Amino acid sequence: MPHGVVTVLGVGRLNTVTETRRITFEGSGPFVGTLVQALEDEGVTVAVRREGHALDQRPTPRGMGEAVKATLVATGASEAIAAGVSTFRQRFANRAVVTIENEAAAPARHRRHGQHRA
Protein backbone atom coordinates (compact mmCIF):
# COMPACT_ATOMS: atom_id res chain seq x y z
CA MET A 1 0.00 0.00 0.00
CA PRO A 2 1.43 3.43 -0.92
CA HIS A 3 2.37 5.84 1.86
CA GLY A 4 -0.31 8.35 2.82
CA VAL A 5 -3.22 6.05 1.90
CA VAL A 6 -5.57 5.23 4.74
CA THR A 7 -8.03 2.36 4.55
CA VAL A 8 -11.08 2.65 6.78
CA LEU A 9 -13.26 -0.34 7.54
CA GLY A 10 -16.69 0.08 9.12
CA VAL A 11 -17.33 -2.27 12.02
CA GLY A 12 -20.70 -1.01 13.19
CA ARG A 13 -23.04 -3.63 11.76
CA LEU A 14 -20.88 -6.25 10.12
CA ASN A 15 -22.55 -9.08 12.06
CA THR A 16 -26.13 -7.90 11.63
CA VAL A 17 -28.42 -10.59 10.27
CA THR A 18 -31.55 -9.58 8.40
CA GLU A 19 -34.58 -11.70 9.12
CA THR A 20 -38.32 -11.66 8.58
CA ARG A 21 -40.64 -12.03 11.57
CA ARG A 22 -44.41 -12.06 11.93
CA ILE A 23 -45.85 -9.70 14.50
CA THR A 24 -49.44 -10.00 15.66
CA PHE A 25 -51.34 -6.90 16.72
CA GLU A 26 -54.62 -6.90 18.58
CA GLY A 27 -55.94 -3.58 19.77
CA SER A 28 -57.15 -0.13 18.81
CA GLY A 29 -57.09 0.20 15.02
CA PRO A 30 -55.28 3.52 14.64
CA PHE A 31 -52.33 2.19 16.64
CA VAL A 32 -51.37 -0.28 13.89
CA GLY A 33 -49.85 2.70 12.06
CA THR A 34 -48.07 3.79 15.22
CA LEU A 35 -46.46 0.34 15.53
CA VAL A 36 -45.44 0.44 11.85
CA GLN A 37 -43.84 3.86 12.41
CA ALA A 38 -41.93 2.63 15.48
CA LEU A 39 -40.54 -0.28 13.43
CA GLU A 40 -39.68 1.90 10.43
CA ASP A 41 -37.89 4.34 12.74
CA GLU A 42 -35.57 1.42 13.57
CA GLY A 43 -34.92 0.72 9.87
CA VAL A 44 -37.33 -2.21 9.58
CA THR A 45 -39.44 -2.77 6.45
CA VAL A 46 -43.07 -3.60 7.29
CA ALA A 47 -46.06 -5.02 5.42
CA VAL A 48 -49.47 -5.10 7.16
CA ARG A 49 -52.45 -7.40 6.68
CA ARG A 50 -55.53 -6.41 8.64
CA GLU A 51 -57.64 -9.37 9.65
CA GLY A 52 -60.79 -7.60 10.80
CA HIS A 53 -62.23 -7.01 14.22
CA ALA A 54 -60.47 -8.44 17.24
CA LEU A 55 -62.28 -11.21 19.05
CA ASP A 56 -61.53 -9.55 22.37
CA GLN A 57 -63.88 -6.58 22.21
CA ARG A 58 -62.33 -4.56 25.01
CA PRO A 59 -63.85 -1.12 25.33
CA THR A 60 -61.73 1.44 23.54
CA PRO A 61 -61.53 5.08 24.57
CA ARG A 62 -63.80 7.38 22.61
CA GLY A 63 -62.21 8.38 19.32
CA MET A 64 -59.58 5.63 19.43
CA GLY A 65 -61.20 3.38 16.82
CA GLU A 66 -62.47 -0.16 16.96
CA ALA A 67 -60.36 -3.07 18.12
CA VAL A 68 -58.73 -4.84 15.19
CA LYS A 69 -56.48 -7.80 14.58
CA ALA A 70 -53.57 -7.52 12.16
CA THR A 71 -50.45 -9.38 11.13
CA LEU A 72 -47.31 -7.42 10.33
CA VAL A 73 -44.42 -8.93 8.40
CA ALA A 74 -41.27 -7.15 9.55
CA THR A 75 -37.93 -7.49 7.76
CA GLY A 76 -34.74 -6.17 9.32
CA ALA A 77 -32.19 -6.84 12.02
CA SER A 78 -33.67 -8.85 14.88
CA GLU A 79 -32.44 -6.20 17.34
CA ALA A 80 -34.20 -3.47 15.32
CA ILE A 81 -37.47 -5.42 15.24
CA ALA A 82 -37.29 -6.00 19.00
CA ALA A 83 -36.44 -2.33 19.61
CA GLY A 84 -39.39 -1.06 17.55
CA VAL A 85 -41.85 -3.36 19.31
CA SER A 86 -40.36 -2.48 22.70
CA THR A 87 -40.75 1.24 22.01
CA PHE A 88 -44.39 0.72 21.05
CA ARG A 89 -45.08 -1.45 24.11
CA GLN A 90 -43.54 1.10 26.46
CA ARG A 91 -45.67 3.93 25.10
CA PHE A 92 -48.94 2.15 24.24
CA ALA A 93 -49.18 -1.07 26.26
CA ASN A 94 -52.76 -0.26 27.23
CA ARG A 95 -53.83 0.17 23.58
CA ALA A 96 -52.77 -3.14 22.03
CA VAL A 97 -51.27 -6.56 22.56
CA VAL A 98 -48.26 -7.03 20.27
CA THR A 99 -46.45 -10.35 19.93
CA ILE A 100 -43.37 -11.22 17.87
CA GLU A 101 -43.42 -14.81 16.62
CA ASN A 102 -41.14 -17.14 18.59
CA GLU A 103 -40.55 -14.42 21.16
CA ALA A 104 -39.53 -15.57 24.61
CA ALA A 105 -42.33 -15.07 27.11
CA ALA A 106 -42.40 -11.51 28.34
CA PRO A 107 -42.09 -10.97 32.07
CA ALA A 108 -45.43 -10.92 33.86
CA ARG A 109 -46.92 -7.49 34.29
CA HIS A 110 -47.56 -6.25 37.76
CA ARG A 111 -51.08 -7.04 38.86
CA ARG A 112 -53.18 -4.59 40.77
CA HIS A 113 -54.35 -5.54 44.21
CA GLY A 114 -57.26 -7.90 43.92
CA GLN A 115 -56.41 -9.21 40.44
CA HIS A 116 -55.80 -12.92 40.15
CA ARG A 117 -53.77 -14.95 37.72
CA ALA A 118 -55.63 -16.34 34.74
Q: What is the pTM of this model?
A: 0.68
Q: At what angle do helices 31-41 and 78-92 cross, to 10 degrees?
A: 140
**Would you state the pLDDT for residue 19?**
93
- Residue 32 belongs to some domain of the structure: no
Once rounded to an integer, what is the mean pLDDT over residues 46-50? 91
Split at pLDDT 50, 70, 90, the class of 56 is very low
- Residue 14 belongs to some domain of the structure: no
- Residue 47 belongs to some domain of the structure: yes
Q: Does residue 33 carry a pLDDT above 60? A: yes
Q: Does residue 14 carry a pLDDT above 60? A: no
Q: Does residue 111 carry a pLDDT above 60? A: no
- Residue 59 belongs to some domain of the structure: yes
Once rounded to an integer, what is the mean pLDDT over residues 37-42? 96
| Element (DSSP H or E) covering residue 27 | strand 18-28
- Residue 115 belongs to some domain of the structure: no
Q: Does residue 73 carry a pLDDT above 70? A: yes
Domain that holds residue 46: 40-66+79-94
Amino acid at 51: E
Once rounded to an integer, what is the mean pLDDT over residues 51-59? 55
- Residue 56 belongs to some domain of the structure: yes
As for how many domains the chain has, the answer is: 1
**Would you state the pLDDT for residue 62?**
46
Count of H-run helices and E-run strands, the chain = 2, 4
- Residue 111 belongs to some domain of the structure: no
- Residue 9 belongs to some domain of the structure: no
